[in-house]
Amino acid sequence: PIFYKKERFRLLDEGHFWLSEVTDRPNKGWDAALPRICTWGHFLDRQTRRRFWFFNLHMDHVGVRAREESAKLVVAKIREMCGPREFVILTGDFNVDQNNPIYTTFTTSGILADSYQTAARRYAPNGTFNNFNPTLKTDSRIDHIFVSPSVCVHDYGVLTDTYRSQTTRSDEEIKSGAFPKEVSLHSYEARTPSDHFPVVVRLEF
We report the CATH number of the domain holding residue 126 as 3.60.10.10
Transcribe 6-38 into DSSP letters. Answer: TTTEEEEEEEEEESSSS-SSS---TT-SS--EE
Mean pLDDT along residues 165-174? 91
The whole-number pLDDT of residue 203 equals 96
Q: Is residue 181 assigned to a domain?
A: no
Q: Is residue 129 assigned to a domain?
A: yes
The whole-number pLDDT of residue 175 equals 86
Q: Does residue 79 have a pLDDT over 90?
A: yes
Task: Find the domain containing 57 and state its range.
Answer: 9-161
Q: Does residue 113 have a pLDDT over 90?
A: yes
Q: Is residue 188 assigned to a domain?
A: no
Q: Is residue 49 assigned to a domain?
A: yes
pTM of the model: 0.94
Q: Is 132 left (phi over 0), alpha (psi -120 to 50) or beta?
A: left
15-24, 102-111, 148-157, 174-183: segment of lowest average pLDDT: 174-183
∠ CA 175-179-180, rounded to 5°? 90
Distance, in Å, from the CA atom of 6 to the CA atom of 34, rounded to the nearest integer, reads: 32
Q: Does residue 84 have a pLDDT over 90?
A: no
